[in-house]
Amino acid sequence: MSDDLTSKSWLTLNKTDIQAKINQGLLPHALLLFGSSLAGQEELGLWLSKKLVCQQPTQENACGQCKACRLVQANTHPDLQFIDNGEKTIGVDIVRKAGAFMQKTAHIGKTKVVLIHACENMTEAAANALLKTLEEPTKNSYLLLVCNDIDLLLPTIISRCSQIKVQPPVGHELAALINDNELINDFSNINQFAELTDSKVKQSYIEFNQLLLNWLQQTISSSELLTGFDSIHSLRWLSHCFNQLLRIQSGWQQALQGHALMSVANKYSNEQLWQCLALTQAANKQIKLLTQANKNFTIEALLVDIEDLLQQSNSDKG
């Protein structure tokens, strides 16, 4: 992987914009930093929160040496709060606490910062509680919302924040950065950023696609495929697979030369593949709003539906 990818060099543009606002004294109190998964909004949020509490920041970064910076490094800065629930939902209690934290006077310096990771995972009640905080901004306090899927946020939250979009390169620019990545083709785009740039995600993508291929060749059952649905990306990958199959059927072989799915592309009809894609996309939309148990159930039901569809296509042909 190139240094540009490791350092996410495209964040420089975002940082320059933010610094200009700080210099003008115009940095908004609520910022929504969003982009597709792993695009860099996490790094940008951390960078900004450190810079905001630092006592002598440079134009580029926090100084790394002042009392505030040392407390940040030790994870004990009293005026900086990180909310990170991983992939779990963020409940109303957490958000209320953060709101109360922002109302208090700062201990060191003047500034207080709350950063919420993966804020798209807030429950509706939590989002409504956050609205209160957004409507009553306190002096010298900043709320940084890091978001990996802006479609999942309430429009009322989005409209009350200043939006900063993190946008990594796509197409040829992306290919130039990922010159050794066998996953890239002419159709690679920003949505695939996670597997194109993160080696762990890439590994699970490859494993998942092998399972998927076996399933499409009908050498494993739906319940065996289900074991591969342990990544937050799995449903997107399933959609991607049907997209690729449709592209291969549409005669874009050249762009997808040597693609593993070539061997199954003509096993199914165009109509069946479109239906599979539509089912997967509908499930993907629905699932984001469900609890874990219901997610599992929805994926199981989806795979059964698709399997029915694909077998139907086979028996019709035979």
Helices in the chain by DSSP H: which ranges? 3-6, 11-23, 41-53, 67-73, 92-103, 124-135, 155-159, 171-177, 193-197, 199-216, 222-226, 234-249, 270-287, 292-317
Residues 35-64 touching Zn ion, rule: CB under 5 A, are 54, 62-63
Report the alpha-carbon distance of residue 239 to residue 258 in Å, rounded. 20
H-helix or E-strand spanning residue 159:
helix 155-159
Show the site string, 9-38: x = touches Zn ion by CB under 5 A, - = not.
------------------------------
Q: Does 131 bind Zn ion (CB under 5 A)?
A: no
**Residue 147's Cα: distance from chain center in Å?**
7
CB 112 within 8 A of CB 79: yes
**Cβ closer to Zn ion: 77 or 247?**
77
Question: From the CB of 199, what's the least distance to Zn ion, in Å?
Answer: 32
Q: How far, in Å, CA of 49 to CA of 125, rounded?
A: 26
Q: Which of 39, 48, 69, 119 binds Zn ion (CB under 5 A)?
A: 69
| Stated length of the chain | 318
CA dihedral 134, 137, 140, 146 (to 10 degrees): 0
CB of 132 to Zn ion, least distance (A): 32
CB of 236 to Zn ion, least distance (A): 39
Shortest Å distance, C-beta 109 to Zn ion: 10
- Min dist CB 68 to Zn ion, Å, is 5
| Comparison of 77 and 160: residue with beta carbon closer to Zn ion | 77
Sign for the pseudo-dihedral over CA of 195, 201, 204, 208 = negative
- Residue 17 C-beta: closest distance to Zn ion, Å: 22
- Nearer to Zn ion by Cβ, of 108 and 220: the residue is 108
Calpha distance 3→5 (Å, rounded): 5
Q: Residue count at the site for Zn ion (CB under 5 A)?
A: 5
Nearest residue (CB) to Zn ion, 68 versus 94: 68
| Binding span for Zn ion by CB under 5 A among 23-31, 68-76, 280-288, 305-313 | 68-76
DSSP for 255-292, please give it.
GGTT-GGGGTTTTS-HHHHHHHHHHHHHHHHHHTTS-H
Of the pair 54, 196, the CB lying nearest Zn ion is at 54
Q: CB of residue 23 vs Zn ion: minimum separation in angstroms?
A: 17
Distance CA 9, CA 40 (A): 9
Of 69 and 235, CB closest to Zn ion: 69
Question: Segment contacting Zn ion (CB under 5 A): 23-31, 65-73, 98-106, 170-178?
Answer: 65-73
State the nearest-atom distance from the C-beta of 47 to Zn ion, in Å. 13
- Rounded to an integer, what distance in angstroms lies between the CA atom of residue 93 and that of residue 107? 23
CA 193 to mean position of chain CA atoms:
9
Cα distance between the two ends of the chain: 47
Site for Zn ion in 256-315 (CB under 5 A): none
66 near Zn ion, rule: CB under 5 A: yes
- The residue (of 111 and 275) whose beta carbon lies closer to Zn ion is 111
Residue 166-195 contact track with Zn ion, rule CB under 5 A, x = bound: ------------------------------
Please report, as ranges, the residues that interact with Zn ion according to CB under 5 A.
Answer: 54, 62-63, 66, 69
